[in-house]
Amino acid sequence: MEKKSASIMQKEATLKSPGDGPSRLAPPLKQLQQWLRASGISGQLLCLVLVAVVFTAGTQGKFLSWANIQVILNLAAIPAIIAIGLHQVVVLGGIDLSAEGVVALCVVVVGLLAHNQFNSNNVGIWIVPITLALGGATGLVNGLLNTKLRIPSFITTLGMSWVLWGLAVFVSKGQTIPLVDNPLSGLINGSIFGIPNLALVALALLIAVQLAQDRTRFGRYLYAIGGDEVLSGQAGVKVDRIKIIVFTIAGMFYGLSALFLAVKLNSAQAITGNNLLFPAITAVAVGGVALTGGIGGAKNAALGALIVTALNDGLILVDVNPYAQEAVNGVVLVIAVALTIDRKKLGFIK
Amino acid sequence: MQETKSGSPTKELVLELRRITKSYPGVIALDGVNLAIYGNEIVGLVGENGAGKSTLMKILIGNVQPDQGSYQIHGQAVRLTDPAHAIHLGVGMVFQEGSLIPNLSIMENLFLCHETEFERFGVLSRKAMREAARTALTTVKVLEDLDTPVADTSPAVRQMVEIARLLWLSRLYRQKNPVLILDEPTTVLTEQERETLFSILHEITKQASIILISHRLQEIVENSDRIVVLKDGKNVTDFSSENASIPEIEHLMVGHTFSADRYRENEQVEQVEPGQEAVIKVENLSKKQKFEPISFTVGAGEILSLVGLVGSGKEALCRCISGLEKPDSGSVTVGGKRVTAGSPSEAVRSGVGHVPVDRRNEGLALGMTVADNLNLLVLDRLKTARLMSPIREKRNALDWIQECRIKTPSPSTLCANLSGGNQQKVVIAKWLTSQVSFLVLDHPTRGVDVGAKEEIYRLIRKLASDGVGMIVMCDTLEEDIGLCSRMLIMKDGRLVREIDCPPFRKPSPSEIIGSIV
């Protein structure tokens, strides 16, 4: 018996945990190091620094000028918002490819319902809840198809994207709808202390979602399902309900992005939705959200969007051929997935 | 009624199963089983594979509903709907494979789905969770960082976290004397961890009762107050472990007579002459942490049975032979030719077949027809003018369906729609068509009803009389003895004993079981 307690004591000494409340004596640098390791974004921050260093050197400092940083923040905001919506589905272990279709339809609806040159509608500020509801409804349908009919999210959302895109072109008759005096335009195009408001909105959403992920039951269940759906169900997690909610939230984020895009461009057309999905998925992967589910949060998605945007901005500044830029994006996506994916979880690679 | 080690004869009855019966198509898993668990005791539950232990446990935690019988907790009859319901009533189980979510931290796993306690205005209080987690974990002496993802912890820690979770939940739901079921808890532990586990379990009996399932009789006898033996879905006995001896328990687990003709012993191929050319020669095959260098041969028509507990290394050995896993060293020679290690396609080409235990995933293409599965290995033979000939395909399939008595409406029925026994016949028939010279049969009669079992024995004898050498791993020791002409016993990755089993002069299970456990 004595021997046993001795061995336990020994274990106590060796297993003393590093992150169990950082030791107060540790120098700040060490604390920072610990925090970075625990946060799961150290690699991404390093990546961002690397991009900054390379392009700052390549552009004689122009890359890090305040004007360019503003440009990056402004450009990164929309992909970040879409990525924050999308990554939650990825954390569940699914994928959501419906962003482009949802944005296309929502943009067109904004064009037709807000004050525009096409018809006499003007719902004013009500356009905000309307787009959120419309985006949410598309997500709800995705979620129901995925959980109740048990169609893989990949197909559900891809199909949904094309349905909505077709609908958007049909409703808008393929035309561009110019907006008139939108009440949101001041807010969306403005800035506070030089920081674009859109970037601040993205930041607010990031904080809200991250908080929900870390500090609510809903967030914990999200990760539990991503870790092991069957075991979570056995433990009592209402798997289907959470999935439907997550798809719905993702749809609302796309709806919001659509509204911002329409107001920013001061016109609405279906093709506004084009080319939004690839950067968002790249952002999610680069940010360190594993496509196998269960790992990575809103901060990862947003940081990923920032890295991808900064990279593209840098490539433009150093005058790389635009086609080569697209190829670089593809390479970045594949490398990011290769680094984050949990191969043990995938039985077969299809 | 029962005396316990601590000596108080009138302990409170916590949980009682009476005359529980459960049958599945073709098998009676449990037949009038009684089980009573008293407060603050450890009950050892032993029995061979297939004795009904796992079904009994599933009934205890509400995963399976009994066909007949009563289930009472604290004197109240209950009808459990699911494991969550069982937890509310203070009955929980630590599964062999674990039920923690790998990417969540220790703390998150502890409270998963029961976090309402820690919610303040919808936000979880980390501080409160930490405090509760620390208290919960001190009982089981886990000192890991609470934020460590479970995937990064050792099996011992995971087990303790599960135990702590069950204890915490029983407190949460105000269950005074919870019952914890531990399924083979020591198989994944080191010697020292095993000691720690039992010292903790004895500590826990102050507030709970424990049902301990284990194949290691030594630890059952040393640590439990009472021992319950199950055999063929029936209670054999229930006795205090104070004066229990291991041979006695072994006898209770397996002791009975069995009929020689069930396994078609008269068809058993007579012992091959020593020196005659072996079908397969395994030399110094080894795989780190699975099994140590091992050498043996199997002759034509010989059935070699490989016996050992889970973790004895026999599964890994078979997977190495059939190329599904790559051994670290050694060689496998088939028909005088060395087989490249770790390549299933190379193994098949050399004439090594494998009937896996998990036939639904590994043995069959369930979504394909019976004919397609049967023809899979002989496609080259069914061609005319370099193209597949549907007529020859159908003819070949029909021949084998008849030969192996596969009960299927037609050759174009999907394998998914066949019964387990008939699926297994398809798997074996597939190897019969391809003229293998050596076959690994991994639990060939698992989950198969009695009638189909006999058919499978017949096929195995047929393979043997055609000169195919075989390794079998069976569900019960009796089946192993009945089928094999020679038996190898493995324990902890080593070959410990070799026994000849000539027809009609077979050893009895109780002579052998001592070397296994």
CATH number, domain containing residue B226: 3.40.50.300
Q: What is the pLDDT of residue A27?
A: 72
State mean pLDDT over A25-47: 76
From the list B102, B112, B145, the residue facing A235 with the nearest CB is B112
Please count the other Cβ atoms lying within 10 Å of the Cβ belonging to residue B391: 9
Compute the mean pLDDT over every residue in chain B, rounded to the nearest whole number.
84
Give the pLDDT confidence of B137-147 residue by residue, as tens digits: 988 888 888 88
Whether residue A217 and residue B148 make contact (CB cut-off 8 A), yes or no, is no
B196 touches chain A (CB under 8 A): yes
State mean pLDDT over B478-493: 87
Contacts of B81 (CB under 8 A, 6+ apart): B62
State mean pLDDT over B295-318: 86
Return the minimum-mean-pLDDT range out of A206-220, A263-277, B299-313: B299-313
Number of domains chain B contains:
3
Contact list, A236 vs chain B (CB under 8 Å): 84, 112-114
Nearest-CA distance from B42 to chain A in Å?
Answer: 19
B189 touches chain A (CB under 8 A): no
Give one word for A310, left, alpha or beta, with left for phi > 0 and alpha for psi -120 to 50.
alpha
Residue B69 maps to a domain: yes
Whether residue B101 and residue A227 make contact (CB cut-off 8 A), yes or no, is yes
Question: A306 versus B511: which is more confidently predicted?
Answer: A306
- Across chain B, which distance is largest between two alpha carbons, in Å? 84
Task: Tell me: do B137 and B188 sit in the same domain.
Answer: yes
Q: What is the pLDDT of residue B2?
A: 42
Whether residue B148 and residue A38 make contact (CB cut-off 8 A), yes or no, is no
From the list A17, A236, A295, the residue facing B103 with the nearest CB is A295
pLDDT at residue A160 is higher than 80: yes
Contact list, B104 vs chain A (CB under 8 Å): 220, 223-224, 227
Task: Tell me: do B151 and B200 sit in the same domain.
Answer: yes
> What residue numbers bound the domain in which B178 lies?
13-254
B358 touches chain A (CB under 8 A): no
pLDDT at residue B259 is higher than 60: no
Question: A114 versus A36: which is more confidently predicted?
Answer: A114
How many contacts does A have with B, using Cβ atoms within 8 A?
83
Query: Do B101 and A231 form a contact (C-beta atoms < 8 A)?
Result: yes
B145 touches chain A (CB under 8 A): yes
A107 touches chain B (CB under 8 A): no
From the list B145, B192, B195, the residue facing A20 with the nearest CB is B145
Task: Tell me: do B249 and B281 sit in the same domain.
Answer: no
Find residue A185's DSSP bridge partners: none
Task: Tell me: do B422 and B440 sit in the same domain.
Answer: no
> A16 pLDDT band (50/70/90 cuts)?
very low
State mean pLDDT over A227-240: 89
Q: What is the pLDDT of residue B242?
A: 72
- How much is the ipTM here? 0.78
Residue B3 maps to a domain: no
Report the amino acid identity of residue B158: R
Strands of A123-190, DSSP E: 177-178
Break chain A down into helix, strand, coil percent, rounded to 5: 75, 5, 25
> B512 pLDDT band (50/70/90 cuts)?
confident
Q: What is the pLDDT of residue A164?
A: 96
Scan for tokens 């356009």, then name that residue. Answer: A127
3-state secondary structure A22-41: CCCCCCHHHHHHHHHHHHCC
A241 touches chain B (CB under 8 A): no
Contact list, B128 vs chain A (CB under 8 Å): none
Which domain-ending residue is among B216, B231, B254?
A: B254
Residue B500 maps to a domain: yes
Compute the mean pLDDT over every residue in chain A, rounded to the nearest whole number.
87
Whether residue B104 and residue A17 make contact (CB cut-off 8 A), yes or no, is no
Residues of chain A numbered 202-221 and touching chain B (CB < 8 Å): 211, 215-217, 220-221
State mean pLDDT over B266-271: 69
Contact list, B143 vs chain A (CB under 8 Å): 11-12, 15-17
Q: What is the pLDDT of residue A14?
A: 38
Give the residue from B240, B222, B238, B219 showing the smallest Cα distance to B230.
Answer: B238
Q: What is the pLDDT of residue B7?
A: 44
Q: What percentage of residues in chain A have a pLDDT greater than 70?
A: 90
Q: What is the pLDDT of residue A161?
A: 95
From the list A18, A226, A236, the residue facing B145 with the nearest CB is A18
Task: Tell me: do B419 and B479 sit in the same domain.
Answer: no
A90 touches chain B (CB under 8 A): no
C-alpha dist (Å) from residue B290 to A77, B305, B316, B330, B494? 53, 18, 6, 14, 9
> A167 pLDDT band (50/70/90 cuts)?
very high
pLDDT at residue B391 is higher than 60: yes
From the list A18, A19, A227, the residue facing B103 with the nearest CB is A227
Chain B residue with CA closest to A237: the answer is: B113
pLDDT at residue A52 is higher than 70: yes
Q: What is the pLDDT of residue A255?
A: 96
What is the secondary structure of B215-257 as a DSSP string? S-HHHHHHH-SEEEEEETTEEEEEEEGGG--HHHHHHHHH-S-
What is the secondary structure of B42-77 as a DSSP string? EEEEE--TTSSHHHHHHHHTTSS--SEEEEEETTEE
Whether residue B144 and residue A17 make contact (CB cut-off 8 A), yes or no, is yes
Task: Tell me: do B307 and B366 sit in the same domain.
Answer: no
Task: Tell me: do B368 and B273 sit in the same domain.
Answer: no
Give, as one character, the DSSP assignment of residue B211. Answer: E
Q: What is the pLDDT of residue B271?
A: 56
Q: What is the rounded CA–CA span in Å between residue B433 and residue B466?
A: 12
Chain A residue with CA closest to B103: the answer is: A227
Return the minimum-mean-pLDDT range out of A35-39, A219-223, B255-259, B314-318: B255-259
Which domain-ending residue is among B199, B223, B254?
A: B254
Interface test with A, best of B105, B112, B147, B158 (most A CBs within 10 A): B112
Contact list, B106 vs chain A (CB under 8 Å): none
Task: Tell me: do B178 and B56 sit in the same domain.
Answer: yes
A348 touches chain B (CB under 8 A): no
Chain B residue with CA closest to A236: the answer is: B113
Whether residue A231 and residue B192 make contact (CB cut-off 8 A), yes or no, is no
State mean pLDDT over A171-182: 89
Q: What is the pLDDT of residue B181?
A: 93
Task: Tell me: do B430 and B441 sit in the same domain.
Answer: no
Give the pLDDT confidence of B431-449 residue by residue, as tens digits: 888 878 899 998 888 777 6
Scan for tokens 């037949």, then name that residue. Answer: B31
Helices and strands (H, E) in chain A, number of each type: 15, 4
From the list A16, A211, A228, the residue facing B102 with the nearest CB is A228
Question: A269 versus B388: which is more confidently predicted?
Answer: A269
Give the pLDDT confidence of B324-348 residue by residue, as tens digits: 888 888 888 888 888 888 888 888 8
Task: Tell me: do B247 and B299 sit in the same domain.
Answer: no
State mean pLDDT over A54-75: 92
Question: B228 versus B11: which is more confidently predicted?
Answer: B228
Task: Tell me: do B26 and B88 sit in the same domain.
Answer: yes
Whether residue A20 and residue B147 make contact (CB cut-off 8 A), yes or no, is yes
Q: What is the pLDDT of residue A234?
A: 84
Whether residue A20 and residue B104 make contact (CB cut-off 8 A), yes or no, is no
Whether residue A234 and residue B99 make contact (CB cut-off 8 A), yes or no, is yes
A13 touches chain B (CB under 8 A): no
Nearest-CA distance from A15 to chain B in Å?
Answer: 6
Beta-strand pair B469-473/B303-307: parallel
Q: What is the rounded CA–CA span in Å between residue A46 and residue B12?
A: 62
Residue B454 maps to a domain: no
Contact list, B113 vs chain A (CB under 8 Å): 221, 235-237
Residue B456 maps to a domain: no
Q: What is the pLDDT of residue B274?
A: 53
Give the residue from B55, B117, B112, B65 showing the smallest Cα distance to B86.
Answer: B65
A345 touches chain B (CB under 8 A): no
Whether residue A216 and residue B123 make contact (CB cut-off 8 A), yes or no, is yes
B381 touches chain A (CB under 8 A): no
Structure tokens at A113: 């319902």
Whether residue B124 and residue A7 make contact (CB cut-off 8 A), yes or no, is no
Q: What is the rounded CA–CA span in Å between residue A68 and residue A75?
A: 10
Query: Do B37 and B15 form a contact (C-beta atoms < 8 A)?
Result: yes
Whether residue B145 and residue A231 make contact (CB cut-off 8 A), yes or no, is no
Residue B340 maps to a domain: yes
Whether residue A16 and residue B115 make contact (CB cut-off 8 A), yes or no, is no
Which domain-ending residue is among B229, B254, B279?
A: B254
Whether residue B103 and residue A17 make contact (CB cut-off 8 A), yes or no, is no
Scan for tokens 């394909």, then name that residue. Answer: B368
Q: What is the pLDDT of residue A138?
A: 96
From the list A216, A227, A294, the residue facing B124 with the nearest CB is A216
pLDDT at residue B165 is higher than 80: yes
Residue B5 maps to a domain: no
Strand-by-strand arrangement of the B337-338 sheet: B291-299, B278-287, B329-334, B337-338
Chain B residue with CA closest to A231: the answer is: B99
Chain A residue with CA closest to B165: the answer is: A235
Contacts of A28 (CB under 8 A, 6+ apart): none
Residue B460 maps to a domain: no
State mean pLDDT over A247-276: 94
Query: Do A158 and A146 form a contact (C-beta atoms < 8 A)?
Result: no
Task: Tell me: do B409 and B480 sit in the same domain.
Answer: no
Scan for tokens 């009895």, then name that residue. Answer: B508
Give the pLDDT confidence of B377-389 residue by residue, as tens digits: 888 888 888 888 8
Contact list, A11 vs chain B (CB under 8 Å): 141, 143
pLDDT at residue A46 is higher than 80: yes
Q: Which domains are present in chain A?
A: 48-340 (1.10.3470)
Chain A residue with CA closest to B162: the answer is: A235
Q: What is the pLDDT of residue B4?
A: 42
Residues of chain B numbered 34-93 and touching chain A (CB < 8 Å): 83-84
